[in-house]
Amino acid sequence: MCGKAASPGGLARWTCGMLACFALVTVATEVAGWHRYQVLLALALKRSDEGEALVRADMWFGNLTGWWQATFLATMLLFILWLDSMRSLADTVWPQGQRRHRAWVLFGWLVPLGQLFIPKMFINDLWAAAQPAMRRRRGNPLLTIWWLTVLAAGAWATDGYSALKQAATAGEARQALRHVMLSDGLRIGAAALTIAVVWRLSGLLHHAKDSEASADAHSS
């Protein structure tokens, strides 16, 4: 059982809003990718009037991919700022339980191999700090499902876009687009789960901090 949750705070709301924008842009990119796939399929069936349609499809897919990349960077920036703010709260509630220096809020996403487990370890410690002292434990099914989805989305996205850039034929491009569209679906799921994690963890940690402050006031 989790503790009670308070208001998640303004930064959490901004982060969730940016995640929702990221998901919407990803949906738009998915639609553009599907349209491009259909145009490539029509070309394979020797429809001679699809050349101009392919140019337009490539333009829309390329433009939306650029917007998706910009939205992703903005989302990651807000998410890291949110993580840092949560670490500040955790340091007031349960500082001895935070196993990583707060610099890993940023570097945990950048260090090869460390990317696979450091961010999850960081989140686990924050989650434990948000729980009542007698029931603290690191990890939660929500966090596990979220992290596995994030890892799957990242792996599929890298492979899909790499294959799309290297595609030399329409058939290879279609296969790569199928890969990209699957990764888009995973990214949408990852964004939705991240919103759930941000909202829940923010509320729990704010409640834990308020309870700590109230207990200190009563003891003094």
Q: How many residues does the chain have?
A: 220
- Measured CA to CA, the distance from residue 66 to residue 166 in angstroms comes to 18
Block residue for tokens 């290879």: 172
Q: What pLDDT score was predicted for residue 164?
A: 76
Residue 139: the pLDDT is: 85
pLDDT of residue 1: 42
For the chain, 220 residues long, give each residue's pLDDT as a single digit of tens.
455 556 678 999 999 999 999 999 999 999 998 888 888 877 766 655 556 788 888 899 889 989 999 999 999 999 999 999 999 999 999 999 999 889 999 999 999 989 999 999 999 999 999 998 888 889 899 999 999 999 998 887 666 777 777 777 778 888 888 888 888 999 999 999 999 999 999 999 998 888 776 665 556 5
212, 195, 92, 219: which is closest to 146 by C-alpha?
Answer: 195
- What does the pLDDT read at residue 36? 86
What does residue 65 show for φ and ψ, rounded to 5 degrees? -65, -40
Mapping DSSP to helix (H, G, I), strand (E, B) and coil, where does residue 86 land? helix
Enter the tokens of residue 94: 């349960």
Q: Nearest Cα to 25, choosing from 200, 187, 214? A: 187
Contact present, 5 and 204 (Cβ < 8 Å): yes
